[in-house]
């Protein structure tokens, strides 16, 4: 099962979703701004990505700076709290397949985990 954490307002996210569908796959689409991952889901997703919470934070178009999330003293737990409260902070799109998970920015990163 292929899953995409998708933001329909994001051009890269739309491109990645279209590429998956063009390959004949209908993925599970999670509009994470409408249905954000729970803390446990986010922790599992980050583990699958091989990333820490700080690694998935998006700066552009988010409250990143006003929340002072570049503060190195912030713990992973505090960053997870911020992601839970502000799902727009999650970099997108994130795609999960049987081959692994990737933040598909740029869209070509999909090739690393998506069957040809």
Secondary structure of residue 55 in the 3-state scheme: helix
Residues belonging to the active site = 10
> Residue ranges of the alpha helices (H) in the chain?
11-22, 39-49, 76-85
Instruction: Kindly report the average pLDDT of the chain as a whole number.
Output: 96
pLDDT band at 116 (very low <50, low <70, confident <90, very high): low
- Express each pLDDT in 19-58 by its tens digit: 999 999 999 999 999 999 999 999 999 999 999 999 999 9
Q: How confident is the model at residue 111 (pLDDT cuts 50, 70, 90)?
A: very high
Task: Assign residue 45 a region (left: φ > 0; alpha: ψ between -120 and 50; beta: otherwise).
Answer: alpha
pTM of the shown model? 0.94
Arithmetic mean of pLDDT, 47-70: 97
């Amino acid at each position: 099962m292929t899953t995409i954490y998708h933001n329909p307002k994001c051009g890269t996210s739309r491109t990645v979703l279209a590429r998956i569908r063009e390959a004949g796959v209908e993925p599970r689409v999670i509009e994470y701004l409408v249905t954000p991952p729970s803390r446990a889901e986010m922790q599992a997703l980050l583990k699958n990505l091989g990333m820490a919470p700080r690694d998935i934070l998006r700066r552009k178009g988010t409250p990143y700076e006003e929340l002072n999330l570049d503060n190195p003293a912030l713990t992973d737990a505090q960053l997870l709290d911020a992601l839970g409260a502000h799902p727009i902070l999650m970099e997108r799109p994130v795609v999960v397949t049987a081959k692994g998970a990737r933040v598909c920015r740029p869209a070509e990163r999909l090739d690393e985990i998506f069957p040809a």
